[in-house]
Structure 1
Amino acid sequence: MALDNRPCGFAVKLLYCILYFTIIFVIYANAADNWDKDDDPIPMSDVKAVLGSAAKLPCDIEPSTRGDGVYMVLWFRNNSVKPIYSVDVRGRPFNQALNWSDEEVRPRARFITIDRPAALVLEGIRLVDEGIYRCRVDFKKSPTRNFQVNLTVIYPPHQLLLIDNFGNEVEGSVGPHKVGDEFGLSCEVRGGKPSPVIKWFINGTETIGNIVQIGENTVVSKIGVSLLQRENFNITYKCRAFNTDLVKPLEKSVTINMYLKPISVTIISKPTILEFGKSYELVCEVVGSYPRALVTWTMKKDTNFTKIHETGNSKIVLSTLLYSPMPEDNNKQLRCQGMNPMLPTGSLEDSFQLNIYFPPKVSLEIGNTLNAQNIKEEDDVYFECKILANPVHHKITWKHNGRILTQKSGIVLSAQNLVLQKINRENGGNYSCLASNSRGETASSIVPLRVQFAPVCMTSDVTIIGASLDESVKIRCQVEADPIEVEFTWEFNNSGENFELAPAKFDGNNGTTSEFIYTPLSERDYGALTCWGRNIIGKQKNPCVYQIIPAVKPSPLSNCTLKATVNKSSELLEIECISGYDGGLRQDFRLEAYEARTNTLRVNTSSVSVNNPVFKIPINDLLPATNLYLIAYALNAKGKSEVSLLENIILQDSGKQADTEVSVLPLLLLLIGAFIALGIIILSIMLILYRRRGTTSPIHIEPYMKQPIISPPDSRNNSMLDVTHGDHTYFVEYTLKQVGDFGLNQPDIIQSPQDHEKVKREQQLFLPVRPDTLFAPYDLHKQGLQKNNCSLNPLSTKSWEPISFKTDRNLMKEIIIANSIPGPESCV
């Protein structure tokens, strides 16, 4: 039974749907056909738009009752029942309304709702867009509202012509005419809807013209003068045509031109003195020239001025020259000439001589007999200072690189000349001369003096470079030279031997830089490398010296101190030490923090500074441990230094400590540590004095063998500082000691008992400082030493012995190096 009724039910629903949409369509069509027959009058507004521009058609879509809203907006043109534009808000927010436009206005139409009232904007208005537009607004609750807009499309005139009596089109000026001639102008305007209006203006005053022709697309108006008089000279006639205020009107103007000769030319003001740096207005009056006189200011036949302002009337022309005196214009004649350009034979002029005061104008030149590109040391050079001044200069000053020159040996000052005798490279640089008079002082442009010279080492100090046996290092030799094309020679000196090294070992030359790869194979290969440069001027007098010494492990850190710091996010413990000798190699700095009870590593960090051992540890990284010790050390390619130990570091909560009695133990330990440190200092001073007295004869050390003294680290025992972390304050107690053997002995170092006793006995080592900026590690280091090739450096086992002043100097250097630097490492 249900199956039999199902098709019937579907047919009934379909029939109802068809009937519903038919009724809606009939109602909509009937409303559209009779919208203008409504009893209520529909308001009408007028809108004018220029062809090609945009028109804005208003439509008020604001509901009359609170809580109401727009349902749909429809736009119709003339009596069409089909909308040209619609805005559908049904079932969606207003800002998501569907906009639709007919092909006739698409894509020129858009509906703007931000204006009050809203408006339909039509871009690129056409003539066919003219008509009556209706806006229908349907609201959700309020009755439908209709508006009418009468759109008028204006087509402005597109061409305006001025025609003289002879039928020629004129622009700018008309004529030339003479007194008594007949003058007439016609203004022809083409195009325009509605028909344009033509107005005439004479020197800006409106006058009446005669309309002589009105065609379908053309309007003509005429104006004229039967007999021209002198008063008609330079009068401007303007024709203006327009048919709307929405666009700028068309207009053209012409000026009457007449021929008459000038009567007089006079420069009204003639200053006796003109100051350089000031501006003057010089006025020239020209009377009686028709047409307007052509006024020309000249100083020479080939000199014209452009900063000229002219005023006047039909009888008098005033030409004002804005003149800025220049030094080169002094004593010249300034002329003003007035003439009728059409009557050149009738020109007149006036003139006066310029007297210009100015500071000296100075230029500096190198002697014309010298070749500025081929001046070398020991040559004589002279400069010439050329000066132009009014009044005459009374003082000349010479400068070299900004410093005033005075006459002395090798420097001769004569009138306007500077002579440099037997120059050297220090004489090179920038030269200038200054001249003074009552109006000021002026400096010349800089003239560079290039002095060519033989190569000179970039630094006079001896460079210390550490290297192990069979280790290749790259040595960079830098010199100053001019020209910079330098050839280099390398030599080696050790124990009296001096020989030139093979060019095959050069890594390359680059102008004033040469790089040399050196590999010491035995102890005799440690010594002095010298670098010599040569260019076309000559050979280097003093070589660059590089002292090659055995590379060793770095010296231990000293004077390690603790302090509390706070950054943006957490509290920190900052440990700062003093670095020792780097062993001739680049060194890094490390710090490790251990829990004292379990020896558990809590922190392993590097220095925050490359050159100085400074470590920063967040308190969070140390907690919850409360009893800690720290070790700090340096390391390079040869291994680690001995460690510096900071022990007995106790983190105690200040709140808990306040509940207990004050302990005097830290103060006691601090006092004991101070006495121990004082004793060590006194003992060190006595040891130094003892060693100085023990020398049997003075030792002469070359400048490049001078080395800084590295003092042993100080100890600060039982120190305390407080650190705030979160809501707690911790007191940090620590004891600093120098550890010689902290269970961290390096397995690759072999030290004899004699060396160990020597280290204990000698608290100060004479070690060279290695400049990192002049040393570049080279990638030819050996991958590893063979065990059968390893040997101890015998120099490191020699004891310190007094050296006689009579001993061979080269041998003395070798002994000093041997006793100052530990020997090479073993392969163990």
Structure 2
Amino acid sequence: MAVYSCQANNSNRQPPLVVRVAIDLILRPLEVNSLGDVSKFSAGKMYNLTCESRGSRPPAAITWFKDGRPLKGGIVTTSDDGNVTTSVLKFVPESSDHGLILACKASNQRIRFSDIQRTWMLKVLYPPRVNITLGHGLDGGNIKEGAGVYFDCHLTANPWVNRVWWLKDGERLLHNATAGLIVSNQTLVLQGVSRASSGYYACEAMNDEGSSVSSSFHLRVKFQPVCKDGVGRRIIGAAKGEPVRVECKVDSEPAAVEFKWSFNSTPGPPRDLTKYSTEEGGSSVLKYVPRDAADYGTLQCWGKNDIGWQGVSCTFHVVPAGRPDPPHNCLLSNITHHSVVVSCQKGFDGGLKQKFVLVLFSGELSVANISSLGGPEFYIPNLEPAQEYYASIYSFNSKGASKETTPLVVRTLPAPGLKELRRSTEPTESPSTNLSGPILYILLASGSTFIVAATVGLIIFAIRRFKVESPVRHPPVGRPKSEETPSNSVIQCGMTDGLSEDDNNPDLIPPTYESLIDSSLPPYTIMARPQSKRNSATQMPVKPYHVTWAPILQSRNCSTQTPAAHKESSV
């Protein structure tokens, strides 16, 4: 924008003529550069890419290209002097962008062929992309038991995968050559498949960017019909003239399309009952009515699909209906101070649907009656702690009840320890103490110890204060041995009745007991029996005697050993 002037004159009398020219330069961009790290990207994340151009006049136009195709959305800004132009692009790379060329081009629109650009090769990191296919030459719709099957796992990932897993029904498979399961990185081999091999198979791969799971492949192994749930024999109870509904359910691949029934009884030949059956959703139902003893026997059912007829039939033994057997092998579990769980094993149901009942007793009082339809399992709540109960269990069906099981002893646990005193959140008038838990326990223990010691001291003092010494007596010659003498043959005065041995012994000086007798004490009696059958003085057999304590103490003169008259006999 400089101004150049051209001036001409030929006389001082005329002003000079002047021509002025302003120079407006148009400049091509000198350089274009990227700002920030554009060496690698993670797929799915957003990045702000910045491109800067310098030296263009007027300001350069900046355009972004990916693999030769222009990208829209760049935000362009220009510096105050117009020399620097900046463009910011919000860029979200995809895994398919890996290896493509990203370019930033600056150009002056008024100058042809003034374009300059900066390019980068995109390095995009992404989690594995996984795909599973059945092995070459295998027909997924015609795989039978015993055949060999293998899968391939196809991967693309950047960076490359660290680990590959094979899944069946969402669970990871482990290499087990003995069971015919071979896992070899990107290949899974199943040798000698069975119906248990059917399921949904998938491949999972992981790298530093994450993990991915392929879509599932549903493997269907064709096999002949077999009894559903693996139950091949069942017992059905039926009364005479009572129709029963017998359902034959089978598993097969593909589904069974035909069934046949047969009845076999010892008195007669087998009978074909297929015409009395109907098919319902891949199963067969037979309505059977036993009318006499010969109609009780065995029903057999076979199913057929594209592979063939069922090898082992489903068997139903029709027996006369009756009362069920009681549950057995009852056990206790989850015992607490207020609840318990009782579990038993089912007995024979008598051929009919049965229910179970538990009756709980506390002593002779029934405290609970719990029934169960699914099985003999009972949860008993609301019990008292440290209490003994008795549980009796039986079952019943439409024909009646079973015998009761042997009463089961249920003992609840003691209640938890002393609960801590809750601190009151309400204000109280009485002053509160600051005794903590341990100090309070120490004070209580000390007080209890002091009370016990004081009580023991008082008892010892009372014994010493009121103790009466028994008189010393020399055993006469020929006295029986101590083990032959009754331990209670020497009885103190005032505490027993006067025996003839004490009355006739001149060496005995009985003490006075009037001061020890309290007339306010109520009379009481005891029954006494000598340890030996002979009197220690006379060696004569004695009979058990009845001793009345209080009346004798109050009426006997211990100095003379003479009892006063009394309504009851002393002995």
With normalisation by structure 2, the TM-score equals: 0.51
Go from structure 1 to structure 2 and tell me whether the alpha carbon gap of 1:589 and 1:270 turns closer, same or farther (over 3 Å shift): closer
- Corresponding residue for residue 430 of structure 2: none
2:49 to 248, 262, 282: 282
CA contact (8 A) 1:591 1:615 kept: no
Go from structure 1 to structure 2 and tell me whether the alpha carbon gap of 1:485 and 1:351 turns closer, same or farther (over 3 Å shift): farther
Go from structure 1 to structure 2 and tell me whether the alpha carbon gap of 1:330 and 1:509 turns closer, same or farther (over 3 Å shift): same
CA displacement 1:207-254 (0-9 Å, x = unmatched): xxxxxxxxxxxxxxxxxxxxxx999xxxxxxxxxxxxxxxxxxxxxxx
Task: Give 1:404 shift.
Answer: 2.9
CA displacement 1:33-79 (0-9 Å, x = unmatched): xxxxxxxxxxxxxxxxxxxxxxxxxxxxxxxxxxxxxxxxxxxxxxx
- Corresponding residue for residue 497 of structure 2: none
Identify the range of structure 1 (580-589 vs 463-472) with the bigger mean alpha-carbon deviation: 580-589
- Corresponding residue for residue 551 of structure 1: 321
- Corresponding residue for residue 583 of structure 1: 350
Which amino acid in structure 1 is aligned with residue 49 of structure 2?
L
Which amino acid in structure 1 is aligned with residue 155 of structure 2?
I
CA contact (8 A) 1:492 1:527 kept: yes
Distance 2:317 2:72 in 1: 73
SS of equivalent to 1:586: coil
Alignment pair present for 1:612 and 2:382: no
Go from structure 1 to structure 2 and tell me whether the alpha carbon gap of 1:336 and 1:635 turns closer, same or farther (over 3 Å shift): same
CA displacement 1:456-513 (0-9 Å, x = unmatched): 322223222222222211122222223335332223333395443223333x3213x3
Go from structure 1 to structure 2 and tell me whether the alpha carbon gap of 1:275 and 1:716 turns closer, same or farther (over 3 Å shift): closer
- Corresponding residue for residue 61 of structure 1: none
Distance 1:303 1:432 in 2: 40
Distance 2:181 2:392 in 1: 64
- Corresponding residue for residue 365 of structure 1: 133
CA contact (8 A) 1:608 1:615 kept: no
Unpaired runs of 5+ residues, structure 2, are 1-21, 384-389, 413-571
Alignment pair present for 1:714 and 2:475: no
Go from structure 1 to structure 2 and tell me whether the alpha carbon gap of 1:588 and 1:374 turns closer, same or farther (over 3 Å shift): closer
Task: Give 1:552 shift.
Answer: 0.5
Distance 1:446 1:586 in 2: 42
CA contact (8 A) 2:130 2:205 kept: yes
Task: Give 1:330 shift.
Answer: 2.8
CA contact (8 A) 2:145 2:195 kept: yes
- Corresponding residue for residue 293 of structure 2: 523
Give the CA RMSD over aligned residues: 5.5
Distance 1:715 1:274 in 2: 77
- Bigger radius of gyration, 1 or 2? 2
SS of equivalent to 2:196: helix
Distance 1:591 1:437 in 2: 59
Which amino acid in structure 2 is aligned with residue 520 of structure 1?
P
Task: Give 1:378 shift.
Answer: 4.5
1:502 to 263, 274, 282: 274
SS of equivalent to 1:503: helix
Give the paired residue count: 380
Distance 1:530 1:384 in 2: 44
SS of equivalent to 1:283: strand
Go from structure 1 to structure 2 and tell me whether the alpha carbon gap of 1:273 and 1:485 turns closer, same or farther (over 3 Å shift): farther
CA contact (8 A) 1:590 1:605 kept: no
Task: Give 1:284 shift.
Answer: 1.3
Go from structure 1 to structure 2 and tell me whether the alpha carbon gap of 1:353 and 1:585 turns closer, same or farther (over 3 Å shift): same
Go from structure 1 to structure 2 and tell me whether the alpha carbon gap of 1:446 and 1:559 turns closer, same or farther (over 3 Å shift): closer
CA contact (8 A) 1:490 1:530 kept: yes
Task: Give 1:450 shift.
Answer: 2.8
2:398 to 637, 640, 645: 637
Go from structure 1 to structure 2 and tell me whether the alpha carbon gap of 1:544 and 1:310 turns closer, same or farther (over 3 Å shift): farther
2:257 to 462, 474, 486: 486
Distance 1:350 1:720 in 2: 87
Which amino acid in structure 1 is aligned with residue 257 of structure 2?
V
Go from structure 1 to structure 2 and tell me whether the alpha carbon gap of 1:577 and 1:282 turns closer, same or farther (over 3 Å shift): closer
Task: Give 1:517 shift.
Answer: 1.6
Which amino acid in structure 1 is aligned with residue 119 of structure 2?
S
Alignment pair present for 1:351 and 2:119: yes
1:534 to 295, 301, 304: 304
CA contact (8 A) 1:287 1:317 kept: yes
CA displacement 1:635-675 (0-9 Å, x = unmatched): 32223445x5xxxxxxxxxxxxxxxxxxxxxxxxxxxxxxx
Distance 1:274 1:483 in 2: 52
Distance 1:437 1:300 in 2: 27
Distance 1:590 1:436 in 2: 55
Go from structure 1 to structure 2 and tell me whether the alpha carbon gap of 1:522 and 1:359 turns closer, same or farther (over 3 Å shift): same
Distance 1:618 1:379 in 2: 59
CA displacement 1:256-296 (0-9 Å, x = unmatched): xxxx8862562425858525367654321134678876544
Distance 1:467 1:531 in 2: 18
Which amino acid in structure 2 is aligned with residue 552 of structure 1?
G
SS of equivalent to 1:470: coil
Which amino acid in structure 1 is aligned with residue 64 of structure 2?
W
Task: Give 1:312 shift.
Answer: 3.6
Distance 1:407 1:615 in 2: 46
Go from structure 1 to structure 2 and tell me whether the alpha carbon gap of 1:392 and 1:491 turns closer, same or farther (over 3 Å shift): same
Go from structure 1 to structure 2 and tell me whether the alpha carbon gap of 1:523 and 1:296 turns closer, same or farther (over 3 Å shift): farther
CA contact (8 A) 1:265 1:350 kept: no
Which amino acid in structure 1 is aligned with residue 406 of structure 2?
D
Go from structure 1 to structure 2 and tell me whether the alpha carbon gap of 1:376 and 1:579 turns closer, same or farther (over 3 Å shift): closer
Which amino acid in structure 2 is aligned with residue 527 of structure 1?
G
Go from structure 1 to structure 2 and tell me whether the alpha carbon gap of 1:405 and 1:585 turns closer, same or farther (over 3 Å shift): same
Task: Give 1:351 shift.
Answer: 0.7
Give 1:679-690 correspondences, 5 Å limit. none
Alignment pair present for 1:426 and 2:187: no
Go from structure 1 to structure 2 and tell me whether the alpha carbon gap of 1:323 and 1:487 turns closer, same or farther (over 3 Å shift): same
SS of equivalent to 2:49: strand
Higher helix share: 1
Go from structure 1 to structure 2 and tell me whether the alpha carbon gap of 1:504 and 1:560 turns closer, same or farther (over 3 Å shift): closer
Distance 1:330 1:557 in 2: 70
Which amino acid in structure 1 is aligned with residue 65 of structure 2?
T
Which amino acid in structure 2 is aligned with residue 387 of structure 1?
L
Distance 1:583 1:297 in 2: 85
Alignment pair present for 1:383 and 2:151: yes
Task: Give 1:630 shift.
Answer: 12
Go from structure 1 to structure 2 and tell me whether the alpha carbon gap of 1:350 and 1:615 turns closer, same or farther (over 3 Å shift): closer
Distance 2:193 2:411 in 1: 65
CA displacement 1:745-771 (0-9 Å, x = unmatched): xxxxxxxxxxxxxxxxxxxxxxxxxxx
Distance 2:329 2:182 in 1: 59
Identity of aligned residues (%): 32
CA contact (8 A) 2:201 2:216 kept: yes
- Corresponding residue for residue 79 of structure 1: none
- Corresponding residue for residue 420 of structure 2: none
Distance 2:176 2:394 in 1: 58
CA contact (8 A) 2:31 2:55 kept: no
CA contact (8 A) 2:34 2:118 kept: no
CA contact (8 A) 2:259 2:302 kept: yes
CA displacement 1:173-211 (0-9 Å, x = unmatched): xxxxxxxxxxxxxxxxxxxxxxxxxxxxxxxxxxxxxxx
Give 1:801-812 correspondences, 5 Å limit. none
- Corresponding residue for residue 320 of structure 1: 88
